[in-house]
Structure 1
Amino acid sequence: MGTYRPLFSITVEHAYFSGNNCKLLEFIPIASCTALLRNAGLLFKSSESGVAVYFDHDNIDILRLYAADNLTLTFKVFAKDPNFLRYTAPGAPPDQAILFFDNRTVTQDGTGKQLLHGGATVAEDSWADMAAEPLASILDRKDLFVKPVFIVQMNISADAQGLCSDQVDAAARKFFIRFGANQTFWNYYVLGELSKRAIYIADLDNAVQFKSIGNVTLPGQREALVLQSSVAIPMQEHSRHRLQLRESGNMGDKVLIKRLPNASIDQTFSEMINGKMENVSEIFVN
């Protein structure tokens, strides 16, 4: 066995997770990719946040022969978390679309990282039609029932600037996919006697304001006062917002609840706000 060196790596970053390190992804090479990896003498290693492919430098001529004949490595990527698309921007794709990335479109960010999409984060322009090429040839019947969250394709060329070249430095072999976090408006439903008092929500960090949007009747004829964030708040794996429920009074304000619960990904719905369909997280306070 010769000396294995990195051919390329793909790292997925995500603003939802602490440290921006995406979690719970599974990279699976399609059948033709598995055969190419074996025949070209490549090693494939994956993690929860990416994939890396290595080549045997002593047998680089074999790799270059395959690269001269349009060497394309394709991976289906699945999320182990069923909520992945709920907290991931740009959200769930249309029914007949999947996010698609390849290294023919590379954008450098301000730090020089190579992004496999056009903007600073993944956007709607990365959706691709499942019925059109190249997805039509990549996907099979079972993918219609359990769709990958995205497809990534790497094209390995044998030219002087290609990944088979000895002149390509380490940074040029590293590629990134960067997801932003979805955002939601936070709706606190304050029930019982508290809903009849002069209450408000204070953010100890002065980052978010809340406003009363009136009373609603919940199932069971329960009355609730709704306090809504003035802006949509990015979803986070471990939310760090420090919110208190307070009451205004003639003798000064009083803290009723020192630390309100933060929004949960499990209580997120769609609702019309200011004439536009938005994500809303519901939190109930008794």
Structure 2
Amino acid sequence: MAWQPLFRITVQHSFFRTTRGPDLEFVPTPACAQLINKAHLLLRTDGQGLLLCFDTDAVEILRSFLAVENNALLFTFDVYTQDMWFACYTDPADQSAEAVTCYDSRLKSTESTDGLVLAKTAILERRLGRKPVFTILISVSEHSLTNAVGIDYVIPLAARRTYWKYYLFGTLAEHELRIVDLQGQVQFKSAGMQMPFPDTSAVAFYSTDLIALRDRPENRFQLRQQGLRGEKVLIKRLKNAGAEQFQQECLEGKHVELSEIFINY
């Protein structure tokens, strides 16, 4: 046997900076699994993608299926995850509450250095059991076999972006404070004294722009106190927002997604 890639799919997620990405499970639909078996194809998956290969010594078997299906075979995979925080750190634009987000090679793709970026749509369908985080549809034509070159597809998932709100407790509330971004990209605005918990007050600051969540901190926010001799650094590096701590809140008259970070000093 001489195995040749038919196509590859790689999922990239901007939430992850220091690890490979979310642990995903790629499951062929029953019809797709049957096609893979009957056409003598080889499927390999890992947590970030899949590889489908055909046997060049038995390529006529695959061509026979192409002839029956008008020279285009459709491979469908449902993608699942056991990561309970996946929906929290993934941009809602890459998810659908009512439908199943579908990445479809039949739609117009864009090119990247890693391969063809699959375009997405939404499929309205009712599912029994657990709902996949998304579905992949790949159409394979005679051209793929004739050129004997596996196509690389990419699915880029974006991290959720939220406004960050810091609550400063304890003696911090007694000082004239400000939060500084050492990279000079994000500005913070004081919201004055608030009560995030019953009978507990804190000084609140919120970012004026959306900030992307990350699995490892990359922002460098510093808490400073204004004094007679200039500014004093109280906390060299403030804690970054986590994926699990965000909520809907009205900020300056509009409803936004806001990550809460609690600092006790």
TM > 0.5: yes
Counterpart for residue 214 of structure 1 = 192
Counterpart for residue 104 of structure 1 = 106
Q: 1:109 to 1:92 in 2, by over 3 A?
A: closer
SS at 2:206's partner residue?
strand
Q: Is the 8 A contact 1:97 1:130 kept in 2?
A: yes
Displacement of 1:168 after TM fit? 4.9
The residue type equivalent to 2:179 in the other structure is: I
Match of 1:150 among 134, 149, 158: 134
The residue type equivalent to 1:84 in the other structure is: F
* Structure (1/2) with the larger strand percentage: 2
Once residues 12 and 141 of structure 1 are traced to their aligned partners in structure 2, the CA distance between those partners, rounded to angstroms, is: 25
Q: Is the 8 A contact 1:106 1:114 kept in 2?
A: no
Q: Which sections of structure 1, spanning at least 5 residues, go unmatched?
A: 118-124, 132-139
Q: 1:105 to 1:60 in 2, by over 3 A?
A: same
Counterpart for residue 232 of structure 1 = 210
Displacement of 1:94 after TM fit? 4.4
Q: Do residues 113 (structure 1) and 115 (structure 2) align? A: yes
What are the residue-to-residue correspondences of 1:18-167 with 2, within 5 Å?
A: 18=17, 21-70=20-69, 71-91=73-93, 93-109=95-111, 111=113, 113-117=115-119, 126-131=121-126, 140-142=127-129, 146-158=130-142, 161=143, 163-165=144-146, 167=147
More displaced stretch, 61-70 vs 91-100: 91-100
Once residues 78 and 19 of structure 2 are traced to their aligned partners in structure 1, the CA distance between those partners, rounded to angstroms, is: 21
Displacement of 1:109 after TM fit? 3.0
Once residues 92 and 52 of structure 1 are traced to their aligned partners in structure 2, the CA distance between those partners, rounded to angstroms, is: 23
Displacement of 1:113 after TM fit? 2.7
Displacement of 1:19 after TM fit? 6.6
Q: Is the 8 A contact 1:85 1:92 kept in 2?
A: no
The residue type equivalent to 2:33 in the other structure is: T
Displacement of 1:91 after TM fit? 4.6
**Alignment deviations for residues 30-73 of structure 1 (CA, whole Å, 9 cap, x no partner):** 12211111110000001111111000000000001112223322
Once residues 238 and 133 of structure 2 are traced to their aligned partners in structure 1, the CA distance between those partners, rounded to angstroms, is: 33
Q: Is the 8 A contact 2:11 2:49 kept in 1?
A: yes
Q: 1:112 to 1:29 in 2, by over 3 A?
A: closer
Q: Is the 8 A contact 2:10 2:48 kept in 1?
A: yes
Counterpart for residue 203 of structure 1 = 181
Q: Which sections of structure 2, spanning at least 5 residues, go unmatched?
A: none
The residue type equivalent to 1:169 in the other structure is: V
Once residues 67 and 250 of structure 2 are traced to their aligned partners in structure 1, the CA distance between those partners, rounded to angstroms, is: 53
Counterpart for residue 8 of structure 1 = 7
Match of 2:241 among 263, 272, 281: 263
Q: Is the 8 A contact 2:5 2:149 kept in 1?
A: no
Counterpart for residue 149 of structure 2 = 169
TM-score when scaled to structure 2?
0.91
The residue type equivalent to 2:135 in the other structure is: I
**Alignment deviations for residues 166-185 of structure 1 (CA, whole Å, 9 cap, x no partner):** x2534xx1111111211011
**Alignment deviations for residues 195-240 of structure 1 (CA, whole Å, 9 cap, x no partner):** 1210111222222221102221232311111111111101111121
SS at 2:203's partner residue?
strand
Q: Is the 8 A contact 1:190 1:284 kept in 2?
A: yes
Number of equivalenced pairs? 261
SS at 1:194's partner residue?
helix
